[in-house]
Amino acid sequence: MAKLFQIKFDAQAEEIESAYKAFQTKYALRKRIIYTVVYLIVIVLGVDLIIKNSTSPAGYIATGLAAGILLFNWIKPVTIRKKLVKTLSELNDETYIMSFYDTKLEIETIIDKSAPTETVAITHTGVYTVEEGSEAEKEMPEGAGETEDIPKTVYQLSETDICFEEKNNLLMLFVNRAYIHTIPARCLSESEREQVRNYFTEKGLY
């Protein structure tokens, strides 16, 4: 199958956070709002119960639990995003190549094999750094310290729930309501951005 075109990009932690926030808004905000309404009703009923009978613990328990769950309902998404950014900031930047075909998408992670790496040995007593030229390195199986290529991610359009959006200088690909691919506009020329828009528009995914 002939490749239509391809793009090359990377994504910084802040850009991925912005895309993840858009993902949460698209797929989780409505549910959070429904939960908020439900727990606000519980709080109102709990307060009403307290007013009618201040000696009964039921009103205090209902109000406290509902308020706690309501607070958690809105804090949790922010906590997840912050943890995501912290994790991504500690990792090395990765570069991706996305190839577009008529019936599928392929995403390949490019590994810089010239970058310095650290070999570790994992044993039942812990994880240890293997120094170059040491006895531990000689005892390691052949090829154990080599970097393996990451397999391509392939999405068959007919079998995958894909939604494409463009917002805040980000081209975002939401896959199966579970995965996000973040393509910063800064990585693409205007003609490449137009190609991507046209592709997803023609497929009815934009």
- In tens digits, the chain (206 residues) has pLDDT values of 789 999 999 988 889 889 888 988 888 888 888 989 999 999 999 999 999 888 889 989 999 999 999 998 888 888 887 887 777 666 556 799 999 999 999 999 887 655 554 544 444 444 445 555 554 444 444 444 444 567 789 999 999 999 999 998 999 999 998 888 999 999 999 999 999 999 999 999 98
Nearest CA-CA partner of 151 in 108, 118, 106, 181: 108
Q: Which residues of 77-99 are buried (b: 16+ CB within 10 A; e: fewer)?
A: beeebeeebeebeeeeeeebebb
- Cα 145 to Cα 47: distance, rounded to the nearest angstrom: 63
Give yes or no for a contact between 173 and 107, defined as CB atoms under 8 angstroms apart: no
Q: What pLDDT was estimated at residue 196?
A: 96
Nearest CA-CA partner of 167 in 22, 27, 25, 30: 22
| SS3 state of residue 38 | helix
Distances (CA, A) of 29 to 10, 24, 84, 131, 139: 28, 6, 19, 50, 53
